[in-house]
Amino acid sequence: MKNKKFYLTILVLLIFILSACDSNTGESDPYQIVVSTSIIGDVAEQINGGILNIKVLLAPGVDPHSYQPTPQDIAAITEADLVLINGYGLEEYLNSILNDEEYNEKIVVVSEGIEIDDGDPHVWLDPTNVVVWAENISDAFAVLQTKNETEFRENARDYINQLNELDNWIFETIDQIPMENRVLVSDHLSMGYFADRYGFEQAATISHSASSLAEPSAHELAELIDLIIDLGLPAVFIGHDVNPELAESLTSDLGIMLVELYIGSLSTDEGPASTYLELMRYNVEAIASALK
């Protein structure tokens, strides 16, 4: 009987000590970061290295122009410590939130500082612009969690080295495309930064808009068909994340190739473009093999 009471006392004491330990030494919750697209999510994770908690709003394959946030997404944005977006009109669904002062302070426009072309938000198709992303993201993370500043800065430096290697590789790979063939027609105005960097001409787009949501008029479509025939273009390029119907019927009528690229989103983990670096390599190889 005495023994039992003794053990019970010890047990109660142990539970008390353990619970006290737990509340004193337990790590505080990591900061919550919400990012809009899977491409920004990958770049942010390269710099984060698993320290902060990153949630990506748009699943791979989802078009950032047409996306509609769920109530859970709005809740995640409300609770987040930082929200990383591309900005410059890409995240049309965030327009109302961006104008709300409650959210203003925690929103980081990762493309801040990049010279914007004709309202086109697709800056990441030039890797030198992603260097700016990496700098902006590591700055934002370092301010949020100063104790890990060194890690964030080192990760950013390593990643920027990889971006510079990618840039060199793209120049080498497009060397096989004759200058006169460096002409791009894509579904919407999205290839301008890539074209400027690597000496292509973005000759026309199916919809005359920097958003995939616009549709061409019959007149615009007729002009586009004339241009493709006049220039003898072998292919039209389209993002995996947009509705292909119109581009499919156009290219099949003209008897030319429809080449799918990864523009607004990564592929799934099993696909060929599960990181930004893979995405660019995939796109450049597809463009080179269609136009060489």
Q: Which stretch binds Zn ion (CB under 5 A): 17-25, 169-177, 186-194, 280-288?
A: 186-194
**CA–CA gap between residue 39 and residue 133 (Å, rounded):** 11
Tell me, what amino acid is at 28?
S
**CA–CA gap between residue 125 and residue 260 (Å, rounded):** 15
Site size toward Zn ion, by CB under 5 A: 2
**Minimum Å distance from CB 138 to Zn ion?**
26
Subset of residues 86 to 115 that bind Zn ion, contact rule: CB under 5 A: none
Subset of residues 210 to 269 that bind Zn ion, contact rule: CB under 5 A: 264
The secondary structure of 178-209 as a DSSP string is -GGG-EEEESSS--HHHHHHHT-EEEEESSSS
**Minimum Å distance from CB 63 to Zn ion?**
7
**Minimum Å distance from CB 193 to Zn ion?**
12
Which one, 203 or 261, has the nearer CB to Zn ion? 261
Which one, 238 or 256, has the nearer CB to Zn ion? 238
Which one, 216 or 264, has the nearer CB to Zn ion? 264
**Minimum Å distance from CB 182 to Zn ion?**
21
**Minimum Å distance from CB 190 to Zn ion?**
5
Residue from 85, 87, 30 nearest 56 by CA: 85
Q: Which of 86, 111, 190, 251 binds Zn ion (CB under 5 A)?
A: 190
Per DSSP, the three-state class of 118 is coil
Helices (H), the chain: 2-25, 38-48, 71-79, 95-98, 101-104, 127-144, 149-174, 192-198, 218-231, 245-254, 276-291
Contact set with Zn ion (CB under 5 A): 190, 264
